[in-house]
Amino acid sequence: MSLVILNTILSKPNVIFHNSFSFYNIFAKKNYSTDSSESTSPKLPSSNNFNLKDFSKQIDNLIKDYRLNKKTEIKNQNQNIDPTISINSKQSQYKLSTAPSGVPLSKLLSNTFPLSFKESFEDFKIRNEAYKVQDDLLSLLDCYPHANELFESKILKIPINLDKNNNVIKISENDEQFFNNDFSEDEKFHRNITYQNYINEFVIYPKGKQSNDPNLNHLIFLHGYGGGIGFFLKNFQSFLSFENSNWCLHAIDLLGYGVSSRPEFRCSNLSNSEDFFVDSLENWRKLRKLNNSENILICAHSLGGYLISVFNMKYPNKFRKILMVSPAGIIKPSKLPDIPKYYDMLWNQNYSPFSLVRYFGPLGSYLVSGWSSRRFDNLDNEEEKNLLHKYAYIIFNSKGSGEYILNHVLSAGGVPRCPLIDFKENRIKYLTCDTTWIYGENDWMDVRGGFEAMKLLNNKVVNESGRTITANVKIVKNAGHHLYLDNTHEFAEILRDEMIELENYSTINNR
């Protein structure tokens, strides 16, 4: 299959690079504009007598020539720019994310793809080694796989049962009893070997204690669309720096994402799609025995924020507070984006942006490097960048599953189909916990959603005891949609303040 794709590229480069479908903005454009009419694909070698090594070398040389020509072109275009500013500086390489409004593949060639074809082929060889890549990435933490002075950590696989239609089966009391106590890494394999589907969890907990200790406070990270626990690496490092022995951190891959199992996604509408994720999250919570709602703080990004809101409406009073980090699906933007017709059509047919990575086989990692080189360019550690790229490639290239919810929740351009805040029914008013709405100052998600939610929720009475909930909005400077990565320092300060606030509340109310 890979050779078929390569031969297609070799024989018909213009078809592949100019007429193929958009990649949903997964590859960020450079900070300077490029006229696509002036872009031309590099001439690729003939497919006769194809040799993989020779092909890789020739392509690497072509790409180097292309980059050199492009740099020269850019330099000429920017002669009036301060000469102390380099086109290759961190400022120009790092790119805040933008709304999914369509980028044709012809423009993708104006990006820098730093990975060589040889490296891309090497990554392709390990495409099925998700656990190893995840372990390598998490091993950058000083508490994994071996404990440090304060914390231990481990990876767990929590079983999720599905019926023949891939609907989540509610767990029985026997299942709950089965996971009544924490289990070691050795026991984990034997206890999960009969389960076909599971949620992948990374947990950090105080040394000598259990990771589901009801007397601890619990911080739970939920990723967004296409994400996984590895993207929170910097936030794990921040958590460890707090040196707070009263907290346990859980980060989970949603079912069908990251390194969780990837069952066939058969949901045909929004309601079924929500249940697929929400019910699996509730099973996870029960099996992990996280039953004290007053000591649970949720940190949910983008799609994760939308799903945890729906969770709270279906299963109220399961946690104390949600940090809604640039949540998706909240409110329709005041101005709808201009979407090309072809792009809208492909979106509505539920094409996944990650299918392109899978389609290009051994060149998939090369394509992903156009995104990862910008998303992680503000990191100083080269090993960290490299491992985050490999991790991104591995999860983007994995079997399509949970990613197919996107079309049910959002229309092209990231516009919510059934926003939680609208004029007909404000579903957001059914939230029963405190919320803090956090946005980047350059966020493409509409911050109006947070302010409208604050108006609707603040001081709302949620139960017979007369308890009221609170809601507020915070803006992170020098950040966009991925603010937890764009400005890790300020985000860490917000996170620590929220943890202290929950601790103080628990102390006052004698948890």
Residue 293 pLDDT exceeds 50: yes
pLDDT digit string (tens) for 150-202?
999 999 999 998 998 889 988 876 665 555 555 444 444 534 445 689 999 99
Confidence of residue 411 (pLDDT cuts 50, 70, 90): confident
Instruction: Indicate the range of 4-8, 106-110, 446-450 predicted with least confidence.
Output: 4-8
- Find, among 93, 97, 98, 103, the residue nearest to 30 by Cα: 93
CB count in 10 Å sphere of residue 331: 23
Residue 6 pLDDT exceeds 90: no
pLDDT digit string (tens) for 76-117?
544 443 333 222 333 435 566 766 655 555 554 555 788 999
Instruction: Indicate the range of 56-65, 201-210, 482-491 predicted with least confidence.
Output: 56-65
Residue 339 pLDDT exceeds 70: yes
Residue 239 pLDDT exceeds 50: yes
- Compare 306 and 188 and report the one with higher pLDDT: 306
- The average pLDDT across 378-383 equals 88
- The average pLDDT across 323-332 equals 96
- Compare 400 and 333 and report the one with higher pLDDT: 400
Residue 39 pLDDT exceeds 70: no
Has 481 been annotated as catalytic?
yes
Instruction: Indicate the range of 34-48, 95-109, 404-418, 435-449 predicted with least confidence.
Output: 34-48
- pLDDT at residue 63, rounded to an integer: 53
- pLDDT at residue 32, rounded to an integer: 31
- pLDDT at residue 17, rounded to an integer: 33
Confidence of residue 493 (pLDDT cuts 50, 70, 90): very high
Could you say which of 218, 481, 482, 486 is catalytic? 481
Angle, alpha carbons 18-23-27 (nearest 5°): 100
- Compare 346 and 83 and report the one with higher pLDDT: 346
Beta-bridge partners for 65: none
Confidence of residue 343 (pLDDT cuts 50, 70, 90): confident
Mean pLDDT, the chain, rounded, equals 80
- Find, among 371, 419, 412, the residue nearest to 392 by Cα: 371
Residue 458 pLDDT exceeds 80: yes
- pLDDT at residue 4, rounded to an integer: 37
Residue 501 pLDDT exceeds 80: yes
For 464-503, give the DSSP string.
TT--EE-EEEEEETT--TTHHHHTHHHHHHHHHHHHHHHH
Is there a contact between 335 and 358 (Cβ–Cβ < 8 Å)?
no
Could you say which of 123, 253, 434, 443 is catalytic? 443
- Return the structure tokens found at 176: 């709950």
Distance CA 480, CA 282 (A): 30
Report the amino acid identity of residue 429.
Answer: K
- Compare 177 and 240 and report the one with higher pLDDT: 240
Residues of the chain with CATH 3.40.50.1820: 141-337+412-508
Q: E strands, 407-451, where?
A: 410-411, 415-416, 434-440
- pLDDT at residue 218, rounded to an integer: 97
Could you say which of 153, 238, 261, 302 is catalytic? 302
Confidence of residue 426 (pLDDT cuts 50, 70, 90): confident
Instruction: Indicate the range of 93-102, 261-270, 387-396, 460-469 predicted with least confidence.
Output: 93-102
Placement of tokens 């993207």 in the chain: 231
Is there a contact between 250 and 500 (Cβ–Cβ < 8 Å)?
no
Instruction: Indicate the range of 48-62, 185-199, 296-310, 323-337 predicted with least confidence.
Output: 48-62
Has 33 been annotated as catalytic?
no
- The average pLDDT across 486-493 equals 96
- Compare 57 and 170 and report the one with higher pLDDT: 170
- Compare 94 and 279 and report the one with higher pLDDT: 279
- The average pLDDT across 393-412 equals 93
- Compare 312 and 84 and report the one with higher pLDDT: 312
- Find, among 389, 101, 392, the residue nearest to 226 by Cα: 392
Confidence of residue 392 (pLDDT cuts 50, 70, 90): very high
Residue 120 pLDDT exceeds 70: yes
CB count in 10 Å sphere of residue 341: 8
Superfamily of chain region 141-337+412-508: Alpha/Beta hydrolase fold, catalytic domain (3.40.50.1820)
